[in-house]
Structure 1
């Protein structure tokens, strides 16, 4: 699929990529690594367990899993449909970039951005009435997405659209699946088991 990409994409990417230094490569390398965020995932789960009953926690985790699977599949489907080369694989651009890491597959849109934004948005939506500070969790997808620009494995539009897609997917799943499962959990808690 041929698409017209905005003119600012290459220039902004080169600007961000050329801000890099060896010292910052270490920080951003850690930031872009999914495994490095495991403590944050565990913290998310801890917040849910601490703030909700067992039935509601199960409802939230189920919503999260369905949202994450859908986001992963939707992102990959769009990548295969659009087939935008990554900046590092673009012959007209790769000579102008600092190459620190390699990435394969297609670029549009960023799975790091969409998945992290979807997960964060879900947790914020579920926890916002119980923990007012929870909005600070949005720093995670911002750093995660920015790391993809720093290493020039995605264009800015890949990351911005990824954030937007993840946010919208989370809203839909929260509204239609999350609410339904939470209502069912509340019903199960209110009605004693009949034997």
Structure 2
């Protein structure tokens, strides 16, 4: 386990070290939730164009449930595992670029989990209808996730684990939503 933690720290220092203060405002913007409101509005419009209103409401309920589970589960893991964020790890602070810092614990990243949840969920539901949407969503989720490493608030493994949880949760809930919507509202 110590070897994995050391590799995770080395990868963090490498990726975080690629940063430059000239790009800090960009990554601070990318990691913020308000910046993405126009993007979310476009996604909502695509869902609106893909489903009748009654089905759309159920899908939005599933999205809300998924984001809530993703966030709450991340909080449980953060306090249960209690792995300090890089910006709270004394042995790393002098070696890394510290742009911002969050709460004490960072395993796992709810940013990564939430963004990969949406990637997976929307790809399954409307990815075939909108040919490039899965690629756009994957790039978006990856950029949001990388921003957390760049800023020094998550280790790469926090991101990878969060992305995996979000991806799996999105897949499960998208398939469940599809069954519920198609069965009860045909």
**TM-score (normalizing by structure 2):** 0.93
TM-fit CA distance, 1:120: 2.0
Deviations 1:124-152 (A, max 9, x none): 11102311211121111100010001011
Residues paired across the two proteins, number: 184
Give the root-mean-square deviation of aligned CA atoms: 1.4
TM-fit CA distance, 1:162: 0.5
Q: Does 1:125 align with 2:124?
A: yes
CA distance in 1, matches of 2:64, 2:178: 11
Of structures 1 and 2, the larger Rg is shown by: 1
TM-fit CA distance, 1:20: 1.2
Question: What's 1:189 paired with?
Answer: none
Gaps of 5+ in 1: 187-195
Question: What's 2:173 paired with?
Answer: 173
Question: What's 2:152 paired with?
Answer: 152
CA distance in 2, matches of 1:102, 1:94: 11
CA distance in 2, matches of 1:168, 1:83: 23
Q: Does 1:64 align with 2:96?
A: no
TM-fit CA distance, 1:22: 1.7
Contact 2:122 2:174 in 1 (8 A): no
Deviations 1:65-110 (A, max 9, x none): 1111111111111111111000110111111111111211311000
CA distance in 2, matches of 1:95, 1:6: 18
Question: What's 1:99 paired with?
Answer: 98
Contact 1:87 1:152 in 2 (8 A): yes
CA distance in 1, matches of 2:182, 2:144: 29
Gaps of 5+ in 2: none
